Amino acid sequence: MSVLKLDSSSKIWITSDTHYGHKNICRGVTDWRLPDGSIPVDQTRDFLSVEKMNSAILNNINEVIGQDDIFIHLGDWSFGGFENIRKFWDQIVCKNIHLVLGNHDHHIERNRDGSQGLFKSVSDYLELTIPDVAKFVLMHYPLSSWNGLNKGVIHLHGHVHLPNDKKFGKGKKMDVGMDGSEEFRPYNLIREIVPIMRKREVVSDMEFDHHTDEIKGIVG
From first to last of its 220 residues, what are the pLDDT tens digits of the chain? 799 999 999 999 999 999 999 999 999 999 999 999 999 999 999 999 999 999 999 999 999 999 999 999 999 999 999 999 999 999 999 999 999 999 999 999 999 999 999 999 999 999 999 999 999 999 999 999 999 999 999 999 999 999 999 999 999 999 999 999 999 999 999 999 999 999 999 998 876 776 665 545 444 3
Closest C-alpha among 56, 59, 18 to residue 177: 18
Max intra-chain CA distance, the chain: 57
Is the alpha carbon torsion for 153, 142, 55, 107 positive or negative?
A: positive
Contacts of 57 (CB under 8 A, 6+ apart): 18, 20, 178, 184
Taking the model in full, what pTM does it have? 0.94
Q: What is the pLDDT of residues 120-163, one digit of tens each?
A: 999 999 999 999 999 999 999 999 999 999 999 999 999 999 99
Q: Which CATH architecture has domain 2-216?
A: 4-Layer Sandwich (3.60)
Residue ranges per structural domain of the chain: 2-216
| Amino acid identity for residue 37 in this structure | G
